[in-house]
A and B are shown apart, each in its own frame.
Chain A
Amino acid sequence: MLAGQVMGLAACLSDHLEATFTQSYGPEARGGACSAQLIISDKQIHYPYVRNADILVCMSQTGYEKYRQMLKAEGTLIIDQDMVRSVEGATGDVFPVPATRMAEELGRKMMANIVMLGFVTSVTEAVSLKGMLSSVADSVPKGTEKTNIAAFNKGYDLGQAMLKARMKKAAARL
């Protein structure tokens, strides 16, 4: 949910787009399949909830089961590959990311969402890199900015590498 807030902040204040961020608030927000919904648009946003998602990021299997129907058929699905084992029914692009594992390697499992944010920024270009870097730094607890930016960059670099590999593969097919 922090991830949604961070990205909304970047879209709104750095990229000067319209952004509307809503989140689960019930008991599920304290340990369960909860969601953060973010709409980014260059026009005014009337209805603040996502109806057909372009991008779905899943950090758990139950999260995937609960929210998969929101994703457009050709939408981009990004999953934490150790947390989401089966993506049955996925019809669009799927990007598996070892976000939790990478965060553990960096010493803080809690930063999995920040790693994921780096990856999402990288492959979707929904918000600018510059905006995200300042938004991450502004949103995390004081004193943890450096480690969080490092986590973000790890995710970002993995995204860039994955995109490059895909391009190569596509070029080889031609």
Chain B
Amino acid sequence: MEPAVLTGEHFLNGDVACAEGALAAGCRFFAGYPITPATEVAEHMSKRLPRVGGVFIQMEDEISAMAAILGASCAGVKSMTATSGPGFSLMMENLGLGIAMETPCVLVNVQRAGPSTGLPTLGAQGDMMQARWGSHGHYEIIALAPSSPQEIFYQTITAFNLSETYRIPVLIMADEIVGHLSERVIIPESSKIKLQSRPRPTGRKDRFKPFHPGPNGVAPMAHAGEGYMVHFTGLTHDERGYPAMTVEAQTEMMDRITGKIRRNLDKIIQVERYRLEDADVALVSYGISSRSSQAAVDEARERGIKAGLLRLLTVWPFPEDIVRELAKRVKGFITVELNLGQIHLEVQRCAEGRAPALLAGHVGGSAITPEEILERIKELVSQGK
């Protein structure tokens, strides 16, 4: 057996760092179908998992890959898949099943430019709204956005912890640039990595109700084969897990699956503020675009423009309150992302007309440059005069 946590200093690309983060988080099952630019996640897991006592399966497609990780999780194993573009679309149906069955797992999307086959080898951030609403019905989701190999390592651990704590599939919305970028990655000692596990049942097995929520709104999870009564279905179900075709059952289930997220926003949402204290112009960005934004903030400051950056580590749930607060004091927002305006719509919504909200967007295929962002900053400043 090989150590699961490769403590030390490494020079890794984002995809490999993601796989190492998963192993450090205790992931022992990966099912996937290779697709550029996420292939290296699967490739690395296929080498490492068998050496740490885990299981890797290359499935026939992304539909079954998503199904397989739900099954493995229901059996009690921390599970992950990784995909991109068309594969992410194929996973949407079973992502919804994971939400309805309240099954912890992690889905990594190393985004490439779409729609359809698009630009397989080039980066974009065009799936951000799909991450929010890509499966049918109304639900809550957690999505994180890493900006470097080091960050994807940590975020993969965070993703597992959140998925276990709230019994929900968690998305890592990376992109081709971060996936293929090599940088220093420091892997801490395993004793320094805090891991969370799903709440587990206690008490009489015959009285167990698999969807009866605990104190934080999350129901303890029994694993298949442990002797507890378990029943999983995508149909609306009652606390016993049995299908219940009534408005009351739907209301109760929806309150549980949305409430466990809505009522714990402060524990879930993470943002980073960069030179934002006295900023007139607030950039809002995430993932690779947030790095271009940091460079643009520095360049704007050199020109005497007070710019700052709100970096979203958690994109979903969207940090509404933080943006609303900012809207009261900044002169304007610029959302920086590799699409033609997705998170921009959220920023606009939360700015509520208090401050103008512009977009520094891009069709995808390359990173947005600090110069492009600086142009938008200047535009915003001149609008204010």
Which one of A8, A13, A21, A47 contacts B367 once the chains associate, using CB atoms below 8 Å? Answer: A47
Which one of A9, A22, A47 contacts B11 once the chains associate, using CB atoms below 8 Å? Answer: A9
Interface size bracket, A side: 10 to 19
Decide: B181 and A48 in contact? CB cutoff 8 A: yes
CA distance A74 to B355 in the complex (A): 44
Count B-side interface residues using an 8 Å CB cutoff: 23
Q: CB-defined interface of A31-61 with B at 8 Å, one 1/0 digit per residue?
A: 0000000000000001111010000000000
The majority secondary structure among interface residues of chain B is mixed
Is B177 positioned at the interface, with any CB of A under 8 Å from its CB?
A: yes
Given A47-B291, A47-B369 in contact, is the A21-B181 Cβ separation under 8 Å? yes
Decide: A25 and B176 in contact? CB cutoff 8 A: yes
Is B298 positioned at the interface, with any CB of A under 8 Å from its CB?
A: yes
Inter-chain residue pair count (beta carbon < 8 A): 60
Given A46-B295, A47-B370 in contact, is the A22-B184 Cβ separation under 8 Å? no
CA distance A9 to B185 in the complex (A): 11
Residue of B nearest to A21 (CB): B182
Pairs across A and B, CB under 8 Å, 18 listed: A8-B11, A12-B184, A13-B9, A13-B10, A13-B11, A18-B183, A18-B184, A19-B11, A20-B182, A21-B11, A21-B181, A21-B182, A22-B182, A25-B121, A26-B122, A27-B121, A46-B292, A48-B177
* Cβ-closest 10 pairs across A and B: A46-B295, A21-B182, A26-B121, A46-B294, A47-B295, A9-B11, A25-B121, A46-B291, A12-B184, A12-B11
Other than A48-B288, A49-B369, give 20 A-B pairs with Cβ distance below 8 A. A5-B182, A12-B9, A12-B183, A13-B10, A13-B11, A13-B184, A19-B183, A22-B181, A22-B182, A23-B180, A25-B122, A25-B180, A26-B122, A27-B121, A46-B291, A46-B294, A46-B298, A46-B370, A47-B291, A47-B295
